[in-house]
Amino acid sequence: MDPVRAPRPRTALAAALAAGVLLLCACGAQPAGGQEAQDARVTVAAGSEPTSYDANRAGEHVERNLLVLGQVLRGFWRYGARGEVAPDPAFGTVTKTSDDPLVVEYAFAEGAVWSDGEPLDCDDAVLAWAAGSGLLGGAVDPVAGAGYAGTGAPACEDGDTAFTVAHPEPSALWDTAFGPGSILPAHVLEREAGVADVLAAVRGGPGHGLQDAARWWRTGWALDPGALDLRRLPASGPYRLADWQDGQSLTLTANPRWAGAPPRTPVLVLRFVEAAQQATALADGQVQVAAPPASADVVRQLERLGDGAAVQRGPLAASEHLLLDVAGTFADPQLRRALALCVPRSRIIDAVVAPVDPGASVLRARTLLPHQAGHADVAAASGGGSQAEDVAAARAVLEARGALGTVVRVGHDGTDPRRAEAVALVRASCGEAGFDVQDAGGDVGGDAGGDVGGDAGAARLGDGADAVLVTAPSPPDPVLAAQRWASGGGAAAGGYSSPVVDDLAAQLRRALDPSEQLDLLVRIEQELERDLPGLPLWTEPGVVAAAPGVEGVALQPGPAGVTWNAETWSVAAR
């Protein structure tokens, strides 16, 4: 029997945290006010208002919701310090009892209840499984739903506080099920949807209330700015929703029924501040914590605050890729190789990333980011992620193929000046090699929404662009990141399909041993380096700043946002 989910080699990176974040101001906490401990509060800048209490739905597993829900709705795992799958024992424990067949036991923490006093039990687990497996309809976020694929319903009875899940086949993603925000209150659904018994509805199917449950589920968790029906929104984490002022702020207060340690700061106020104004709001004292979109201008603003802010810079769990149209302009692998030779990746880092994160370097792998265990092995085995810049060699390839003057329209969303600068550098370098690089920004490319090439812009490869710059948020488990390069994954938007990669990705999904997973990731990376469906460019930089007196704020690369560890923050009193 395995112990309660011990950290796996690919995610055990706590020791690397200090090396992965550059501290600009190591100033100690200063008195922040005269509040008594029970009245202490921290005000955090939030770029937009939350839209759903259900972050499992496609399009909702994003920062606007996770910034709030990460502290309100917990699960059997949470995003750790490096964005990895980390145990959350205050919520419950997980034990893998067998590999063949794969069986996992879950137990809610002793005394775990919703903030309205209802116990967390079997009903909630079965409802979470039904939603994650798609039984309630609607698209499920690929990260939130990955751990449920092919599983049977949790084995438990009404009122049980422990349950068992059996996997018919081995699944490397077994530990991503029942994660943060995935378990929502079954008793609320029963009351609001008029369903007598969630267990009977899910297990009995149509005619037992399943259709009524699914109908309410699809819209019942939507949030309306300024309107809080607290009976509908009980909490299972250290904080609960308390007050929402439309367009102004959302207040969270300590959940007195939380089974874990009470939060050190009883009140969190999320003040809605446009991203471009967050550094100014911190300087003006409107907020005490901010994580504005990182740019050289933002960093300069924060540095000018001196001792007025403790600022951390470092990489996020997202990466920028140049995805190629391998079904069109780049159908010839030699043209892909030529482009890889002339793209000035080191100079792009120096120009657009290093001003924000001085420790940044060229991204050398597509399936693992530098902060993830195993990255060095994968990058080294694949050849380090494409050749170094060699314009002469690129030109020789184009001459040999009779392809001098090949037009390459590079798409991007047009709103990020870093992308425009990157395209300008590519145009200059690859122009010398013999490509005709054109900036097609403004109508293609952009945020890949969790999957390389997963946005509409990337889908237009060959219809407006021959290559696109896209951002790929990295899921907490590298197994998921590798799947985007299989047929039907996000990279397929560029027409890429490889039977070899498909087979390796399928093996990876079934691999339970970390060493076997790493070997498969290496082999996938080698195939991708050989085929070059796209070029990895850089890891997205991030920045977090806290006012004097607010202690415990830390940059985390995952999607949970700056509040990921807010229950540990404290405010120094006079």
Q: How many domains does the chain have?
A: 2
Quote the pLDDT of residue 277.
94
Shared-domain flag, residues 329 and 386: yes
Whole-angstrom distance, CA of residue 534 vs CA of residue 366? 9
Shared-domain flag, residues 507 and 560: no
SS3 of the chain: helix, strand, coil, percent, to 5: 35, 20, 45
The CATH number that applies at residue 535 is 3.10.105.10
Residue 286 lies in a domain: no
Quote the pLDDT of residue 61.
85
Residue 347 lies in a domain: yes
Shared-domain flag, residues 186 and 333: no
534, containing H or E segment: strand 534-546
Shared-domain flag, residues 380 and 515: yes
- Residue pair 496/533 in contact by the 8 Å Cβ criterion: yes
Q: 381: alpha, beta or left, given left = phi > 0 and alpha = psi -120 to 50?
A: alpha
Residue 267 lies in a domain: no
CA-to-CA dists, residue 101 to 124, 168, 262, 335, 565, angstroms? 25, 7, 39, 47, 35
- Residue pair 398/332 in contact by the 8 Å Cβ criterion: no
The CATH number that applies at residue 32 is 3.90.76.10
- Residue pair 495/471 in contact by the 8 Å Cβ criterion: no
Shared-domain flag, residues 528 and 552: no
Shared-domain flag, residues 78 and 207: yes
3-class state of residue 155 by DSSP: strand
Residue 279 lies in a domain: no
Residue 302 lies in a domain: no
Residue 6 lies in a domain: no
CA-to-CA dists, residue 39 to 34, 264, 268, 314, angstroms? 10, 11, 11, 32
Shared-domain flag, residues 475 and 501: yes
Residue 253 lies in a domain: no
Identity (one letter) of the amino acid at 259?
A: A
Q: State the pTM of this model.
A: 0.87
- Residue pair 386/348 in contact by the 8 Å Cβ criterion: no
Shared-domain flag, residues 124 and 96: yes
User: 168: which DSSP letter?
Assistant: S
Residue 80 lies in a domain: yes
Write out the residue range of the structural domain in which residue 333 sits.
315-540
Quote the pLDDT of residue 38.
55
- Residue pair 240/115 in contact by the 8 Å Cβ criterion: yes
Shared-domain flag, residues 536 and 552: no
Shared-domain flag, residues 211 and 346: no
pLDDT in tens, the chain (574 residues): 333 333 333 333 233 323 333 333 323 333 334 444 556 999 999 999 999 999 888 889 888 999 999 999 999 999 999 888 999 999 999 999 999 999 999 999 999 999 999 999 999 999 999 999 988 887 788 777 788 888 989 999 999 999 999 999 999 999 999 999 999 999 999 999 999 999 999 998 777 889 999 999 989 999 999 889 999 999 999 999 999 999 999 999 999 999 999 999 999 999 999 998 999 999 999 999 999 999 899 999 999 999 999 999 999 999 999 999 999 999 999 999 999 999 999 999 999 999 999 999 999 999 999 988 899 999 887 775 556 899 999 999 999 999 999 999 999 988 888 999 999 999 999 999 999 999 998 755 444 433 443 444 454 576 789 999 998 888 888 898 899 999 988 777 788 999 999 999 999 999 999 999 999 999 999 999 999 999 999 999 999 999 999 999 999 988 889 999 999 999 986 4
Quote the pLDDT of residue 387.
63
Shared-domain flag, residues 43 and 18: yes
Shared-domain flag, residues 357 and 435: yes
